[in-house]
Structure 1
Amino acid sequence: MHLGIEGRKAIVCASSRGLGLATAKSLAEAGCDLVINGRDAKKLQQIAEELRAQYSVRVTPIAGDISSPETQQAVLKACPNPDILVNNNGGPPRKDFKELNRQSIQEGVLQNMITPIELIQAVIEGMAERRFGRIVNITSMSVKMPIQGLDLSSGSRAGLTAFLAGVCREYAPHNVTINNVLPGKFDTDRLKGGFEHQAQQANISVEEAKQLTSKEIPANRLGNPEEFGKACAFMCSAHAGYITGQNLLLDGGLYPSAF
């Protein structure tokens, strides 16, 4: 499908690997100029060069923690008038909620709730004035379905979802949409940490843990980051203007619900 966003300017946060990188690739394939972000400057530069060569689009890498004001300012300076904003960030590590202290809770909320809100505040008025804006927040299946040890991540992302539920409707008349894409179990580095934890607890190999997890999913497999990126790019497309305030769950049928 032709997405109708060639020449649009997009910011993709935390896009040096995993689902963020997959989304950046899909937007580059659709013809968007990109600002990409990640903590590893060398890796980020390599990705920028590859995307430029493959898709003939402008790609500006901004290294740093997207939750820091300095990195946010650098990203917005590189792309002051984005048409597309994809909020993404690493989540807090798996930990029993009793082990969380005030500082770790504050850091988790900063990463997964406050940071995307700050970026949305910075760009949404310009989108409304230009009468085109697509904001997509990469959250998690855990917003709908609790996952043991990810309570802080789940709570922060659920807070973001609720916070934006009214905001998205305020800006809908201006052709600005805000949606959330909820990944389930995708074959990424972050999920690998979960497999290692599961393997240690059950005294099995990491590969066995991966196979057991795959069998729990109705699709009988882990998600491919590329298919996630394609779905996210569609939510950023010219065809998605009538979709706002929604939570697109990509989980292979794992969450058991009729609605």
Structure 2
Amino acid sequence: MDLGLKGKSAIVCASSRGLGRGCAEALAREGVNLVINGRNEQATEKTAEDLRAHGVTVDIVLGSVSDHATQDALLEACPQPDIVVNNNGGPALRDFRELDRDALLDGVTQNMVTPIELIQRTIDGMAERGFGRIVNITSLSVYQPILGLDLSSGARAGLTAFLAGIARSVAGSNVTINNILPGKIDTDRIRQTMVYAADKRGVEFDEEKARQIGAIPAGRLGTPEEFGATCAFLCSTHAGYITGQNIRLDGGVYQSAF
């Protein structure tokens, strides 16, 4: 299927590896020119080199997307993005009792405030041009708690509620805002949660990994590639009637008929 994205431009945050890279790769395959972002220069340069093999332009902005200077650089590299994929590292796994006010505010800044700031700076231009796709990478933990990720979950849930009305306000301008909620996708982040859980249970990592995979109806971890393909479809010309939605990619973990 042609997604109708050739020649469009996208900012993909935190895209040197993991889910962000999966989204960038899927968009590059569709002919989207990219501005990617990462903190590690070597990893980000390698990702850019791989993406350019699809015949698209790829610019790099290094730094934390929560820093205003990094946001400025992203918008300087791509002043009129057709697509924004919001992604950011979340707070480290910690017992909520260990979180002081500074840690709480940092977590909210990372996973709620930062994407809102980028949306504020790009959404009106999208509406004026009559096309825009905003995809926020949140987490299944918005629906289903994961002990130790309470701060990340709370901030992402706040983002979801904050944007629900905004998504409807721009739908008539062919601008959509949707969230993808990853379950257990094979990334560094998920391995960290498995290490944390193994330590809590006093078992070896491999045992904990097998236990968690055993609880997934699909019987496996998801892949960044299939995650990225979902992102690319939500960004496509075919997805203009999907907005304000939370798309769960979890292999059937979340038990619900609706």
TM-score (ref. length: structure 2): 0.98
1:179 counterpart SS class: strand
Aligned partner of 2:29 in structure 1 is 29
Moved more, 189-198 or 158-167: 189-198
Aligned partner of 2:20 in structure 1 is 20
Residues 23-102 of structure 1 correspond to what in structure 2 (within 5 A)? 23-52=23-52, 54-102=53-101
Identity of aligned residues (%): 60
Aligned partner of 2:199 in structure 1 is 200
Residues 142-157 of structure 1 correspond to what in structure 2 (within 5 A)? 142-157=141-156
Aligned partner of 2:128 in structure 1 is 129
Residues 101-120 of structure 1 correspond to what in structure 2 (within 5 A)? 101-120=100-119
2:90 counterpart SS class: coil
* Cα shift at 1:234: 0.5
8 A Cα contact 2:61 2:74, kept in partner: yes
CA distance in structure 2 between the aligned counterparts of 1:242 and 1:76, rounded to whole angstroms: 27
* Cα shift at 1:197: 1.7
* Cα shift at 1:200: 2.3
1:76-98 alpha-carbon deviations (Å, 9 max, x no partner): 00000000000000011111111
CA distance in structure 2 between the aligned counterparts of 1:196 and 1:149, rounded to whole angstroms: 12
Q: Which runs of 5+ in 2 are unaligned?
A: none
CA distance in structure 1 between the aligned counterparts of 2:204 and 2:29, rounded to whole angstroms: 37
CA distance in structure 2 between the aligned counterparts of 1:45 and 1:222, rounded to whole angstroms: 27
1:138 pairs with 2:137: yes
Residues 211-250 of structure 1 correspond to what in structure 2 (within 5 A)? 211-250=210-249
8 A Cα contact 2:17 2:43, kept in partner: no
* Cα shift at 1:208: 2.0
* Cα shift at 1:220: 1.0
* Cα shift at 1:198: 2.2
2:252 counterpart SS class: coil
Structure 1 residue runs of 4 or more that deviate by more than 3 Å after TM superposition: none
CA distance in structure 2 between the aligned counterparts of 1:235 and 1:111, rounded to whole angstroms: 23
1:160 pairs with 2:156: no
Task: State the one-letter code of the partner of 1:67.
Answer: S
CA distance in structure 2 between the aligned counterparts of 1:214 and 1:245, rounded to whole angstroms: 30
8 A Cα contact 2:179 2:246, kept in partner: yes
Task: State the one-letter code of the partner of 2:187.
Answer: T
* Cα shift at 1:51: 0.9
CA distance in structure 2 between the aligned counterparts of 1:115 and 1:202, rounded to whole angstroms: 34
CA distance in structure 2 between the aligned counterparts of 1:203 and 1:247, rounded to whole angstroms: 34
* Cα shift at 1:45: 1.3
Moved more, 169-178 or 93-102: 93-102
* Cα shift at 1:202: 3.0
TM-score (ref. length: structure 1): 0.98
* Cα shift at 1:203: 3.4
Q: Which runs of 5+ in 1 are unaligned?
A: none
* Cα shift at 1:102: 0.3
Q: How many residues align?
A: 258
Aligned partner of 2:173 in structure 1 is 174
CA distance in structure 2 between the aligned counterparts of 1:195 and 1:149, rounded to whole angstroms: 11
CA distance in structure 1 between the aligned counterparts of 2:93 and 2:196, rounded to whole angstroms: 9
1:77 counterpart SS class: helix
